[in-house]
Amino acid sequence: MQRPGPFSTLYGRVLAPLPGRAGGAASGGGGNSWGVTGSHVQLPGRAQFGAGSASTAGGDANSVCPAPSTMSKAEEAKKLAGRAAVENHVRNNQVLGIGSGSTIVHAVQRIAERVKQENLNLVCIPTSFQARQLILQYGLTLSDLDRHPEIDLAIDGADEVDADLNLIKGGGGCLTQEKIVAGYASRFIVIADFRKDSKNLGDQWHKGIPIEVIPMAYVPVSRAVTQKFGGVIELRMAVNKAICFW
C-alpha cells in the first residue's frame, strides 16, 4: 500500500522493538531509527535512551510503557506501539480513523483512558466491524464518513512495513475500508510490533499480497492479475468475509 503524490510524506509509523532490547519506539521515521524526540518509550527491564534523555526501568512515572507482565514479547510490543501512537499523536477535538487488527486494540484502550482522564472530545470512524465494536465497547463516540468526511488522524496496523514505509495490508480482510479511511485522513499512523519490520516487503510476510474485490469481479480480476503478473490466485474464505491472495 503506497500513498501517491504529496500525501506520501504524511506516512508515519510506530514500531515497537523486541522488549528487552535497547531503543525506544519511533514514529514518522524510516529504517530502524528508534530514538526520536517525543516518541521515546521505556521498555521493561532495561535502561532506555531517547534523544537527549535517559530513563531506567521503573523510574519514569510518565512512561507510556506498561509494567513488566506475563504477556508475550510480541503482545507487549503491540501494546507499546499502540500506546505510543496515541500518546504522541492524539489531541483534543480530533476526528480519528480507527483501524483493524490485534495491535489497534491497545491503541483504542489508551484512547479510552485518555478520554476519561483528560476529558477529550474525540470522534471515531471505524474501518471494520471489529473496529466498530471496539469503539462501542470502550464508550467512545462512533461516527462515519457521512457525518465526518474529513479525518484528522487515522491509526491502523499492517502486515509488513519496509524501510521506506511501504506497506502490505489487508491480511485481515478489511483492506477496502482501511484504504478509504486512510485516504481521507490528514495524517496516517501505522502501528506494528517488531515482527512486521522488514528491509523489503516480503521478507517477513509470506502469505501473498491481499487483493480485496467485490464478488462479481473475482473472476475477471483474477484473470487480469495472472495475465499481467503471473503467480497463483487463491480465494481465502473466512467467517462472513472473503479475500483474494496473490
Residues designated catalytic = 178
Q: List Cα–Cα distances, 206 to 11, 101, 171, in angstroms.
A: 24, 18, 11
Cβ count near 12 (within 10 Å): 21
Q: Pseudo-torsion of CA 205, 207, 209, 214, nearest 10°?
A: -140
Cell numbers that stand for 3 in this block: 500513498
**Local structure of residue 23 (DSSP, 8 states):** -
Q: What is the CA radius of gyration of the chain?
A: 18
Helix (H) or strand (E) holding 15: strand 11-16
Residues in the chain: 246
Residue 175 CB contacts under 8 Å (≥ 6 apart), including other chains: 169, 210, 211, 212, 243
14 forms beta bridges with 27, 191
Between vectors from CA 67 to CA 63 and to CA 69, what angle results, nearest 5°? Answer: 155
Strands 241-245 and 123-126, sheet pairing:
unpaired
**What does the alpha-carbon distance between residue 18 and residue 74 come to, in Å, rounded to a whole number?**
7
